[in-house]
Every structure is written in C-alpha cells, then in structure tokens.
Amino acid sequence: MNSNEHFATLTDDELLERCEKSGLQTRLWRQRFLGLLPEVARRKLYFKKGFSSITEFACTLAGVSQQQVHEVLDLERKLKETPALHQLLIEGRVSHHKLVRVASIAKKENEEFLSSQVKLLSKRGIDALVRDIKYDLATKTEIQQESSHNIQLLDVQKATFNNEIETKQTLEIDQPQLIIETDSNGSAVKIGSMPNLQDFIHLNLTSDTVTKLKNLRAKGFDLNELITELLELREKNIAEEKQKISRQQRKKESERKEEGRSPARSIPQNIKKLLKKEYGTKCAKEGCNKPAEHIHHTRRQALDPSHDPNYLAPLCKEHHEIAHAIDLNVQKNKWKILTS
C-alpha cells in the first residue's frame, strides 16, 4: 500500500491529528533553529559555509524570513540581562513571538515569573498579562505622583479653592481640581484630587437623578458621604446574598453526595445573576474592560464542586487562561500530541 492509499483510509479526525502533529513539530523545530542564530552570527558560521549573509543562511536552511532573523538577533541582545528568558530563546523552548511581548517589562526581579508564564500562556494571554503588569505599574506611579503633587499644594488657600468650585463651569475639563478638607480652625486636614468634569459626564446620569442630587445637596446633604453609604450598602447586600446562596449550594451538594449522584456541572442561574449584579458584564480583573466569557472557579471545581459564589469570578478569555496557567496540566495537554 503506497502513502496515498494509506492516507485515503484515514478518517477526517485521524487526518486532522496527523496535520496538527506535523504542524506542531514544524513550529517546534523552527523555533529551535531560530534559537541557534545568535551563536551562528557570533561565529560568523554562515560566512564560513559560503553564505553571503545570515539571512541567506536562515532562509536557505529553514525558510526563515529576514524579518524573523532580525527580530531574534535583536531580542537576544535585549534578553541578556534576564538569563532565564534568554535561555528559553537560545534553547528554542519558547517562540520568540512570545518573548518579544515580555521583553519590554522583563527585569531580574520578575524574569522567573515571566519565564514560567510564557511557557504556559498563548500569545493573547501574554498580551493580557503584560497589560496587567503595565497597568499596575502605572497605577502605583500615578498614586506616588499624586501624593507628591498634593504635598506641594498644601499652601493653597481655602478661599481660592471655594472660588474655583463656584466657577467650575469655566474650567477646562482636562484640569483636575484640588479638594481640601479643613478643621474648625481652617487648617487643611485632608487633601485629594477632584475628578475631572469629564468623569461626571461619563456617568451618564439621568436628568431626574441629577435633579435629586442637586436637591439633596441644597438641603445640606454631603453627596460624597451619601453615595459612599449607598455603595457600602450594595456591597453588604451582595455579601449577604452570597452567604445565603453558598449555604444553599453546599446543602444541595451534600444531598447529591448522600444520594450517590455526581456533582452538578452547570452553574445555577441565580448564581450567574448574582455575579452579574456584583461584577456587571465585564471581566472581574481590575483594569480590564473586556466582556466576561467564562466563570472561573478560584477553587478547583474537582475539589469544591458546590459552585460557591464566594469563589467564582467572571473573566475574559485571556484572564481565564492566565488564571489556569498555574496548572501544569495545561502545558502537558498542549504538548501531549508530540509524545502520543
């Protein structure tokens, strides 16, 4: 039987498996080849073997483009200060496309963490992880800058501030104003930044709500205190509802176990509604505004099948992948086709 006849007997699934295995092996060997190029360049091996350039060498031997060659050589230089990541590149254990994504944030302090993540996450997952790290760094920097800025402005007069508030409609939207709280002697006791007017516009409050808030302020209510109380009440109600549903779920799961039935796999609708009430329709990860596509069990479901809402969070596809990256089985399953 020749090869064509043999392939003709394969089912669609078997043929697809052959294609996936061959494609995966091709990508694996190509990234290993790319990892060798920095040493090839250092030795000028391409010149010794009759090639005019390293790009000709790479294209002839492995069909690698000129752009890929330059990306790898440039990346290798950038990663020399982070040996763990550098090793992944030159050994061809990770695609250079992934390493390029973390190069901008790679430091000695985080290289071990980043090394573990690039081995487990997809390119989209790595993109999300890098955005999270940059967001956290930017937030810390913003807080530090704001604190420093506020200290420098402690000598701002209360009268000047009050005048600015009365005439805020003439202020540019992009200019945040200083908020100073004073004690009975007029001395500043607390200082912070008032949100830009644009922040209030983005709240999309209805005219009725705005009117009610104005009336409350005219009656002497502190709107900030009032809204804070409402938010705290909301959080309290959600927490109480969580505990109630948690007890119900654990009772149901105990009954199923006593009856010899398997744990329920699907998440009940009342829990989904509660999670939407708490997190909205977006990813629960701070700083991420992508739609939530998965409900993640922060306690592995195999160990805790009760769908306790205290341990559930709606996540986007990328952050769900990051959440599971700590499980080495993800990597094992990804590469099992090579060892089958």
**What is the rounded distance in angstroms from the CA atom of residue 181 to the CA atom of residue 183?**
7
Measured CA to CA in angstroms, residue 236 lies from 233, 256, 281, 310, 334 at distances of: 5, 30, 20, 13, 42
Buried b (16+ CB within 10 A) or exposed e, 153-165: eeeeeeeebeebe
Least confident of 169-183, 204-218, 239-253, 293-307: 169-183
> What is the enclosing helix (H) or strand (E) of 171?
none
Least confident of 39-48, 69-78, 287-296: 287-296
Higher pLDDT among residues 1 and 339, named by residue: 1
Tokens of 215: 């009336």
Write out pLDDT tens, residues 62-90.
999 999 999 999 999 999 999 999 999 99
**What is the rounded distance in angstroms from the CA atom of residue 157 to the CA atom of residue 13?**
76
Predicted confidence at residue 101, as pLDDT, reads 94
Higher pLDDT among residues 138 and 302, named by residue: 138
- For residue 315, name the pLDDT band (cuts at 50, 70, 90): very high
Query: DSSP letter at 291?
Result: B
Q: Phi/psi zone of residue 315: left (φ > 0), alpha (ψ -120 to 50 degrees), beta?
A: beta
For residue 313, the cross-strand partners are: 296
**What is the rounded distance in angstroms from the CA atom of residue 306 to the CA atom of residue 265?**
9
Predicted confidence at residue 174, as pLDDT, reads 41
**What is the rounded distance in angstroms from the CA atom of residue 252 to the CA atom of residue 72?**
56
Q: Half-sphere exposure (CA, 13 Å, Cβ side) for 154?
A: 8
Predicted confidence at residue 3, as pLDDT, reads 57
Length of the chain: 340
**What is the rounded distance in angstroms from the CA atom of residue 208 to the CA atom of residue 58?**
68
In this prediction, residues 106-120 reach a mean pLDDT of 91
Helices 96-103 and 66-78 meet at what angle, rounded to 10? 50
Higher pLDDT among residues 331 and 34, named by residue: 34
Q: Is 297 helix (H, G, I), strand (E, B) or coil?
A: strand
Helices 111-118 and 83-90 meet at what angle, rounded to 10? 30
**Exposed, middle or buried by CB within 10 Å (0-12, 13-18, 19+), for 38?**
buried
**What is the rounded distance in angstroms from the CA atom of residue 224 to the CA atom of residue 45?**
70
Predicted confidence at residue 40, as pLDDT, reads 96
Query: DSSP letter at 249?
Result: H
- pLDDT for residue 320 is more than 60: yes
Domains in the chain, CATH or no CATH each: 11-136 (1.10.10), 153-204 (no CATH), 228-324 (no CATH)
Q: Nearest Cα to 168, choosing from 181, 153, 158, 178?
A: 178
Predicted confidence at residue 157, as pLDDT, reads 47
pTM of the predicted model as reported, rounded to 2 decimal places: 0.64
Q: Is 36 helix (H, G, I), strand (E, B) or coil?
A: helix
- pLDDT for residue 44 is more than 80: yes
Predicted confidence at residue 238, as pLDDT, reads 93
Contact between residue 182 and residue 159 where contact means Cβ atoms under 8 Å apart: no
Higher pLDDT among residues 151 and 124, named by residue: 124
Average pLDDT over the chain, rounded to whole?
80
- For residue 307, name the pLDDT band (cuts at 50, 70, 90): confident
Tokens of 242: 């969580």
In this prediction, residues 241-258 reach a mean pLDDT of 88
Phi, psi torsion values for 107, nearest 5 degrees: -140, 165
- pLDDT for residue 97 is more than 90: yes
- pLDDT for residue 229 is more than 50: yes
- pLDDT for residue 162 is more than 60: no
- For residue 206, name the pLDDT band (cuts at 50, 70, 90): confident
Higher pLDDT among residues 265 and 214, named by residue: 214
Share of the chain above pLDDT 90, in %: 45
User: How open is the CA angle 142-323-312, to the nearest 5 degrees?
Assistant: 95
Predicted confidence at residue 89, as pLDDT, reads 95
Q: Is 188 helix (H, G, I), strand (E, B) or coil?
A: strand
In this prediction, residues 184-205 reach a mean pLDDT of 52
Higher pLDDT among residues 279 and 2, named by residue: 279
Q: Cβ contacts of residue 278 below 8 Å, gap of 6+? A: 238
